[in-house]
Amino acid sequence: MRSTQIWVAIIGLIGVLALGVLAVLGAVRDTTRPVVSLANEMGTQVARVFSPTPTVIPDPVTIVREIRELARLETIQYTLEKVITAEAGQGPLGFLFGDRLLLIAHGSVIAGVDLSRVTPQDVRFDEMGRVYFRLPPAEIFVVTLDNDHSYVYDREVGLLTRGNISLESAARQAAEEEIRKAALEDGILEQAQVNAENVLYRLLRSLRYSDIIFVEWQEGEP
């Protein structure tokens, strides 16, 4: 009988101790919760300091430098990708002062024929009703980088330098030139000329001209 009472007393004491421990843990949790919240908020603020979100503020004043009338017949567009490596300060001390980046460049090239160069002397008819049309040679109108898809894939900066601030700009300029060269090597001008002739052929046929002959533009002509 006495042993039963002892066990009941022990169980009651354990219950009281357990409730006390839970109360202490709850109080500690309630006490540390503001500290954890503050620490998280401080971590967010620190992250914003070291990785700030860029703010772009355009000047409200716009200056129009030039307005030109254009008569360009765009007949082909290339979309290309080039990988550009740009580096500065390389050499024996490159690990200290060097800067190297790898740019994945996406761009487009548009070519066609400038119809503003066509004069009345470039269009003539013969007694058979045939049309002789002399088109100026095709040319590249636009070479642009797609900023939404062009990005720096990797960059290595020396231990004692913060990097060359103009290196990425130089890489992007080189990318535009390389994209232009790649389009030229692939024959963009030849295809632009063929496309221009096809467009104008269909246009003249719709005007009831049945026989259209395109004359080659001679070297040295205006």
Amino acid symbol at 131: V
Examine residue 220 and state whether it is found in any structural domain, yes or no. Answer: no
pLDDT at 41: 64
The tens digit of pLDDT for each residue in 159-169 reads 887 888 899 99
pLDDT at 221: 52
Distance CA 126, CA 122 (A): 13
Clarify whether residues 116 and 150 are in a common domain: yes
Clarify whether residues 25 and 111 are in a common domain: no
Examine residue 22 and state whether it is found in any structural domain, yes or no. Answer: yes
Clarify whether residues 181 and 94 are in a common domain: yes
Q: Give the pTM.
A: 0.69
Examine residue 61 and state whether it is found in any structural domain, yes or no. Answer: no
Domain that holds residue 202: 72-215
Examine residue 199 and state whether it is found in any structural domain, yes or no. Answer: yes
Distances (CA, A) of 77 to 55, 80, 146: 34, 10, 14
Distance CA 91, CA 100 (A): 12
Question: Average pLDDT, stretch 7-26?
Answer: 48
pLDDT at 164: 85
Clarify whether residues 90 and 193 are in a common domain: yes
- Of the chain, the percentage scoring pLDDT greater than 70 comes to 74
- List, as one string, the DSSP characters of the chain: -HHHHHHHHHHHHHHHHHHHHHHHHHHHHHHHHHHHHHHHHHHHHHHHHHSPPP-----S-----------EEEEEEEEEEEEEEEEES-STTHHHH-EEEEEEEEEEEEEEEEGGG--GGGEEE-TT--EEEEPPPPEEEEEEE-TTT-EEEEEEE-TT----TTHHHHHHHHHHHHHHHHHHHTTHHHHHHHHHHHHHHHHHHHTT---EEEEPPPTT--
Examine residue 222 and state whether it is found in any structural domain, yes or no. Answer: no
Clarify whether residues 177 and 210 are in a common domain: yes
Distance CA 170, CA 182 (A): 18
Examine residue 58 and state whether it is found in any structural domain, yes or no. Answer: no
The tens digit of pLDDT for each residue in 35-82 reads 445 556 655 555 555 556 777 788 888 888 888 777 899 999 999 999
Question: Average pLDDT, stretch 88-107?
Answer: 87
Clarify whether residues 11 and 76 are in a common domain: no
If one counts the domains in the chain, the total is: 2
Question: Average pLDDT, stretch 115-136?
Answer: 88
